Amino acid sequence: MTKRTVRRIIKILILAAILFGIVAGIRACVAPSKENTPEITYSDIYDGFTTVPEPVLLCKAAVLMDYDTGAVLYTKNPDEIIPPASMTKLMTTYLLMEKIRSGELDMDQEVVVPPEADFERAPYRSSLMYIRAGQRIKVRDLLTGLMVTSGNDAAMAVAILVGGSRDACVEMMNQKARQLGFESFVFTDPAGYEASNQVNALEFCQFCRIYIQNFIDYLDVLTGAVDFRMGSRVINNSNDLLGRYPGVDGLKTGYIDESGYNISLTAERDGMRLVAVIMGIKAKDIMNAKLFRMEEGASLLSYGFHTFKSFLPVLPAPVSAPVFGCTADTVPVAIQGSEHLCLPYSQLYKLSWDITFTKGLKGAIAAGTPVGSCTVSLDGSPLAIYPLVAEEGTVRGSLWRRFTGSIKAMGQKPESLKFSLAFPR
């Protein structure tokens, strides 16, 4: 072997070593060794949703609730008694809306403003709609003036319209609170101007949920407008999250010195609606207070939307029930029910579905016919039971299929009617 050949071999070996080192380095960067890489499970993936921190709020009290289930998702001093201020007007509006729903009053009906509701007779530092005694005004506009502009003059006009007098309306407000089961509520005026009005954040949030349940079709009229025009005046809604935070369409703000700044909120995103109440925000001036109220409201809603999921359960995979005496041997089924569940995203992978079919399903079965039940459980603990129904109808089979089907149905074993499904992985 010549010296030239030896040198060539050495060069080739050096070049091969360099190339091998480059490839190994790339592999080390792209794909770490299994020994140093822990196996990723679905719990790791879904627990990642819990990175949204629970908000730290400056307010005195707060509650966040899922609208569909009533599940309480966040609380801070939920039982502390605080004056609701102008959030009181939600109860005043509730009474008026009941009369509209019953047909006693109509949205487009005109009413005359009584002398007691003239804006010049409103208490000092009142928010106003600026209505005059003797003025004719539609009920719709009166409601908007009450809820959007938060007019204390409008509150007096509504109180007299609903109850005949201010005091009679206040009594009706307290009766309605007791009827709905709210023990902390005490109302002493229809506008919330007085510090003697009392609620706590938890019960007021529950009341807001009931309010929405009853009048959700009127939210755009009652609380969703960004501003209201009265003559030459344009008055902005004091709920500054309207039009700024996606999905917000209510409800009401409030302020008196004794309570601080309050707000009740509702927002809907991707089929999930939240209800929130924040009370007792203090600040050195009105601009800072409004800013804090916006920040805390947005923070609380964002926590709810990013941490929890409210949903109607569906089967995680196609499921069919056995049927006999039909042209087909099975029929596809689905969960039927209106009971929502609300869970943290981090818990969804722990869901399971326990299926039980009705024994001996025979003959023609119409779509929507109950064919069994489904128990939805979280980590083995039942959450709710839903009926299973046929998604489509079945066609009765031939005489022979009906005969053999009857025999098979009688011999159906109980264990063949039950099985479980886990969260898809």
- Residues designated catalytic: 86, 89, 150
Whether the CB-CB separation of 388 and 332 falls below 8 Å is answered with no
Sign of CA dihedral 286, 236, 224, 181: positive
Report the C-alpha gap between 405 and 408 in whole angstroms: 5
CA 93 to chain centre: 22
Take residue 229 and report the two structure tokens written for it: 């025009």
Give the position of tokens 């949030």: 205
Both structure tokens of 169: 């309306």
Annotate 390-412 with DSSP letters as a single string: ESS---B--HHHHHHHHHHHHT-
DSSP secondary structure, 105-127, as one string: S-TT-EEEPPGGG-GGGSPTT--
Q: Which tokens hold the place of 5?
A: 């050949």
- Sign for the pseudo-dihedral over CA of 326, 327, 330, 335: negative
The tokens for 119 are: 């804006």
Q: Which residues of 180-195 are buried (b: 16+ CB within 10 A; e: fewer)?
A: eebebbbbbbbbbbee
What φ, ψ does residue 79 adopt, rounded to 5°?
-100, 5
173 vs 198: CA distance, rounded Å = 12
Q: Is the dihedral of CA 288, 290, 291, 292 positive or negative?
A: positive
- State the Cα angle at 36 between 35 and 41, rounded to 5°: 90
3-state secondary structure of 156: helix
Helix axes 166-179, 152-163, angle to 10 degrees: 80
